[in-house]
């Protein structure tokens, strides 16, 4: 599933290609992927110009000059691809055509993702937005904020706590495993057992792995592609994610794969305590 760096890469890519474009046609074949009625599309999307693209957690927001916005969640296999002539294909759920003839494709093989049209004034009231924790790369996300929010979940593993989008937004399986490795913390540890020093390290490495992955264009483990169809490079060289059975890059021990928080979890038995 795309995590914060992948969604940020898509949002940044969209920002550079669709802002200023005017939507003239929308085709969609699957109501769950695009639930709005024809009337709503007619009233608020057709003829509208995209004014800005941003990201909150794993949700992409495209503002329109009609006061409405398009929200997109890529979920497991969603892609937003701009004007690449290998699309549409069998995974394409929505095609948006702009007045200059270019197209934006929302592809989603597994059909868990969605694209919705919504009044901008309603976005902050959506339950899925309201329950989100802070953005880990924002300046006001300090290690104390991480600790205080995490400590509301003392009896769960630190991995489950980090995956909880109400604690902090945008973390998924890959970057949680990577950050816990760099911080030297076993994913299965109960949150309550972490010291302030460990929260400081964890905070530092959550931000560093996310930023490093954004710099590398994200991780393309499965379906994830950037707006121009390119793959991300982060998983070319991870510390632990997907490296079970191989040597730890730091100590040479064998990286283990276990199950924590119902997720496949990668860790080093020596570097992480
Ligand atoms: Zn190690």
Other beta carbons within 10 angstroms of residue 9's beta carbon come to: 26
Residues 33-49: pLDDT tens digits? 999 999 999 999 999 99
What integer is the mean pLDDT of 154-164? 98
Q: For residue range 83-142, what is the model confidence (pLDDT) as tens digits?
A: 999 999 999 999 999 999 999 999 999 999 999 999 999 999 999 999 999 999 999 999
CATH 1.10.8.50 residue spans of the chain: 143-267
The structure tokens listed for 60 are: 């992409």
Q: What is the mean pLDDT of residues 22-40?
A: 92
User: How is domain 143-267 classified at the architecture level of CATH?
Assistant: Orthogonal Bundle (1.10)
Contact 114, 76 (CB under 8 A): no
Catalytic residue among 56, 58, 93, 221: 58
* pLDDT band at residue 223 under the 50/70/90 scheme: confident
Q: Does the bond joining 88 to the residue before it have cis omega, within 30 degrees of 0?
A: yes
Question: 27 φ, ψ to 5°?
Answer: -120, 135
- pLDDT mean over 166-178: 96
Average pLDDT, the chain: 96
8 A C-beta contact, residue 11 and residue 53: yes
Q: How far is ligand 1, taken at its centre, from the CA of residue 259, in Å?
A: 18
- Span 3-20, pLDDT tens digits: 999 999 999 999 999 999
CATH class of 4-130: alpha beta
Tokens 């929200």 correspond to 71
Query: Which pLDDT score is estimated for 231?
Result: 93
Q: How far is the CA of 181 from the centre of ligand 1 (A)?
A: 8
Q: How far apart are CA 207 and CA 120, in angstroms?
A: 29
- Contact between 88 and 29 under an 8 Å Cβ cutoff? The reply is no
Residue 31's pLDDT band, with cuts at 50, 70 and 90, is confident
Ligand 1: centre distance to CA 176 (Å): 16
Identify the band that residue 30 occupies on the pLDDT scale cut at 50, 70 and 90. Answer: confident
Per-residue confidence (pLDDT) for residue 29, from 0 to 100 = 81
- Give the tens place of pLDDT for each residue, 224-242: 899 999 999 999 889 999 9
Q: What is the pLDDT of residue 212?
A: 95
| Annotation says 259 is catalytic | no
The residues pairing with 54 across neighbouring beta strands, listed in sequence order, are 61
How far, in Å, CA of 16 to CA of 51, rounded? 11
Q: Pick from 212, 268, 211, 201: which is nearest to 237 by CA?
A: 212
Residue 35 is predicted with a pLDDT of 94
- Cβ 159 vs Cβ 193: under 8 Å: no
pLDDT confidence of residue 1 = 81
Instruction: Check pLDDT > 80 for residue 221.
Output: no
Q: What is the pLDDT of residue 46?
A: 97
How far is ligand 1, taken at its centre, from the CA of residue 209, in Å?
17
User: In the block, which residue shows the tokens 């890529």?
Assistant: 74
For residues 45 and 118, is the Cβ–Cβ distance under 8 A? no
């Amino acid at each position: 599933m795309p995590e914060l760096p992948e969604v940020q890469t898509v949002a940044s890519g969209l920002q550079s290609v669709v802002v200023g474009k005017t939507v003239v046609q929308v085709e969609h074949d699957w109501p769950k992927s695009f639930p709005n009625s024809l009337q709503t599309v007619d009233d608020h999307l057709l003829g509208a110009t995209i004014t800005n693209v941003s990201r909150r957690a794993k949700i992409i927001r495209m503002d329109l000059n009609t006061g409405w916005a398009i929200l997109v969640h890529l979920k497991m296999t969603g892609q937003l691809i701009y004007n690449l002539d290998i699309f549409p294909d069998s995974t394409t759920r929505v095609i948006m055509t702009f007045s200059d003839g270019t197209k934006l494709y929302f592809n989603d093989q597994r059909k868990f993702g969605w694209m919705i049209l919504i009044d901008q004034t309603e976005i902050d009231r959506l339950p899925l937005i309201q329950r989100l924790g802070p953005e880990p790369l924002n300046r006001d996300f300090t290690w104390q904020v991480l600790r205080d929010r995490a400590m509301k979940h003392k009896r769960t593993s630190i991995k489950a706590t980090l995956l909880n989008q109400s604690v902090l937004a945008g973390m998924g399986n890959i970057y949680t495993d990577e950050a816990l490795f760099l911080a030297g913390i076993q994913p299965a540890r109960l949150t309550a057992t972490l010291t302030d020093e460990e929260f400081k390290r964890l905070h530092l490495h959550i931000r560093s792995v996310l930023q490093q992955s954004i710099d590398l264009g994200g991780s393309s483990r499965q379906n994830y592609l950037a707006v121009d169809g390119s793959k991300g490079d982060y998983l070319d060289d991870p510390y632990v994610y997907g490296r079970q059975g191989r040597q730890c890059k730091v100590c040479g021990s064998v990286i283990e794969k276990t199950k924590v928080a119902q997720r496949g979890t990668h860790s080093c038995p020596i570097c992480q305590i």
